[in-house]
A and B are shown apart, each in its own frame.
Chain A
Amino acid sequence: MESKILKPILAVYVGLFILFLYGPFIVLSILSFQQGPEGGPQFPIIEWSTYWYQHLFGLTPPSRIAPLPVGEALVRSLTLAFMTMVTATVLGVMAAQAFRKRFRGAGVVFYLIVLGMMVPGVLTGLGTSLLANNVVGIERHWWSTAFLAHVVYTFPFAFLVMLAILNRFDGSVEEASWSLGVSPITTFRKVTFPLIFPGVLSAMLFAFTLSFDEFPRTLFASGRDQTLPLAIYGTFSVEIHPNIFAFGVMTTLFSFALLAVYGILMGLSVRRAKKMAMQEDIA
């Protein structure tokens, strides 16, 4: 009875909630088409233009507004995200694989790994830079200290994703393979891995995107060469221009593209699994 009134009210509420989530970004996207170079980062739109997108790619004549220093930062961020993705996923798959067997101290190890995603970046970042700066005495770089901190952060995500997948995994197919005399490593490659592949894909997506956007750890743990989030943060302190809005639209589109690639690969692997299951049925 009450839920008959409640449901439409909540439906409207959820609509407003989603507007709250996306509103700022929508406004930012609109303002990224502001006229340039005179147009400021606010309404009204003087004239619609793609000036700030051209500005971003260095296609506009020089003006008093300096181009965003994103070129090299982008390459660094992509490299770092890729390194982090590979390392975190490998560590995550290995650790989750170990958790399929009961062992002493499992609880402690579990919390030790999960701690990596729970400790705020400002603390891991500070600790890592203290260690590098004052104890080991090495210079901090995005590819060394920041990389270590990024893996600490993303490895738990990969681990939890893999744990969820392996919990639902039927071990009898592996046993069948072993009993046929196939070595454990070949079994993992030929039997286990294809079955857990969707999980691996999710773990990779988590690790890549989290590392690509990572900011607090990188701020402390990387040296003078900036990654993309650091370059964005640098613009916060100065007067902002619509070029940073155009940049925001581009990075968000990039995130969406990654999600789309993930979705397609996921769909393909699910379809392949279905096809294999059907072949088995026929046989």
Chain B
Amino acid sequence: MSAAIGKRQKATTFQLLAPGVVWMILFLVAPIMMIVYVSFWTQTTFAINSTLTLDSWRNFFASEAYVGALWTTIRLWLIVLTLTFLIGYPAALYVGLLVKSKTVATVLLVLCVIPFWTSFLIRVLAWRPMLGKEGAINIILQKVGLIDTPIEVLLFSELSVIIGMTQIYVVFMVGPIAFMLGRIDRNIIEAARDLGAGFGRIFWKIIFPLSLPGVVVGAIFVSVMVLGEFATSGALSGRKVNLLGNIIVTQVGSLKWAMASVVGVILTILLGIVVAGFLRIVDLKREI
């Protein structure tokens, strides 16, 4: 009897899961496998055929521009990751832990999350009138008298890409950290204070370690998004900053599928290393 129920349950579980799992295998796993496979195909000027070769891989590592894009991607990722953490953590600390009123905390959190629901491209575009030579920042700085001539490196440079990405992705750092900070039992902090610990000590010994899973989740979100970027870098640098994503877009644009796939595989490996590295810091399964 119970074996029959168990069997029926198994069948139900299988029926419920099958559509989703099949969808993911066909339209997520297969396409990624495809990228690996096509990276070894032979590229002719306008076509591609499935004769296996290492040519595209050789071309990638022989080209200064491509390898340069790899380093630019890693450099920009490290800078944006650091900035989102440094800028986001204090905000999360205030919203998640220091605000006493529940209503204020909720309002602030909602304010931080709302940009997530608005168009990504519009957020990128919104930096153009801010950073330009006649942009808002230059005008304000000139009015205040801090500068005489407009700062030109603000737009269409690596700096503008960094500013834009930091602003766009910082909310993905704030959210998880604020969430973890909100879960800290306030009694622990009270107890430490009663025992005479100063804020610095409480922060480093209690608050920061307990918020670390949030930092890791935020860092994974930011890393995945920044490493796969091409729109912000293209639109705010005037195509001067080329990330791996930009190379993929231009290669596909000129039907160089094999080279695009090589870059895709390199990006996948890079992502794998980064995410695995973060997961070693904290065992997320245990934390959630």
Contact = CB atoms under 8 A, between A and B. Distances in A.
B91 interface: yes
B174 to A, nearest CB: 8
A120 B224 contact: yes
Contact of A244 (B125, B132, B264): B125
A155 B126 contact: no
A246 to B, nearest CB: 11
A101 B171 contact: no
B98 A216 contact: no
A14 B107 CA distance: 12
B91 A122 contact: no
Contacts of B122: 25, 28, 232, 247-248, 251-252
A95 B17 contact: yes
B119 A248 contact: yes
Given A23-B130, A24-B126, A251-B118, A236 B234 contact: yes
Contacts of B261: 126, 130
A99 to B, nearest CB: 8
A248 B136 contact: no
B248 interface: yes
B61 interface: no
Contact of B112 (A11, A18, A152): A18
A103 B10 contact: yes
A113 B264 CA distance: 21
B129 interface: yes
A245 B129 contact: yes
Interface in A2-45: 2-3, 6-7, 10-11, 13-14, 17-18, 20-25, 27-28, 31, 41-43
Contacts of A229: 119-121
A206 to B, nearest CB: 9
A255 interface: yes
Contact of B32 (A17, A18, A42, A123): A123
Given A25-B126, A115-B28, A152-B24, A130 B38 contact: yes
A224 to B, nearest CB: 13
B206 interface: no
A128 B87 CA distance: 36
A3 B23 contact: no
B157 interface: no
Q: Which of B21, B28, B34, B249 has the most CB of A within 10 A?
A: B28
A127 interface: yes
Interface stretch (B62-70, B180-188, B208-216, B267-275): B267-275
Given A101-B9, A121-B228, A155-B20, A112 B25 contact: yes
B76 to A, nearest CB: 14
A216 to B, nearest CB: 7
Q: Which of A24, A41, A121, A244 has the most CB of B within 10 A?
A: A24
Interface string B16-55: 1101110111011111111100100000000010000000
B93 interface: yes
Contacts of A94: 16-17, 19-20
A129 B17 CA distance: 26
Contact of A119 (B32, B90, B112, B126): B32
Nearest to B39: A130
A236 B125 CA distance: 8
Interface residues of B, number: 81
Given A27-B130, A236-B234, A251-B119, A123 B30 contact: no
What range describes how many residues of A lie at the interface?
35 or more
A202 to B, nearest CB: 12
A1 interface: yes
Interface string A249-282: 0011001001100000000000000000000000
A129 B126 CA distance: 30
B249 A122 contact: yes
A219 B246 CA distance: 12
A97 interface: yes
A44 B128 CA distance: 15
A265 B112 CA distance: 22
Given A131-B34, A233-B231, A159 B90 contact: no
A15 to B, nearest CB: 10
A128 to B, nearest CB: 5
Nearest to B251: A126
A18 B95 CA distance: 12
Contacts of B127: 24
Given A94-B19, A130-B35, A131-B31, A13 B198 contact: no
A263 to B, nearest CB: 10
Given A97-B16, A244-B125, 16 more contacts: A2-B198, A10-B98, A27-B136, A28-B125, A42-B134, A42-B135, A95-B16, A121-B228, A127-B32, A148-B27, A152-B23, A216-B228, A229-B121, A232-B119, A245-B125, A245-B129
16 contacts: A21-B167, A24-B123, A101-B13, A112-B25, A123-B264, A127-B35, A127-B264, A130-B31, A130-B38, A131-B30, A151-B27, A159-B20, A213-B120, A213-B121, A215-B231, A236-B121
Query: Which 10 A-B pairs rank lowest in CB-CB distance, beginning with the nearest?
Result: A120-B228, A127-B31, A24-B126, A98-B16, A248-B122, A2-B199, A10-B94, A42-B134, A28-B126, A95-B20
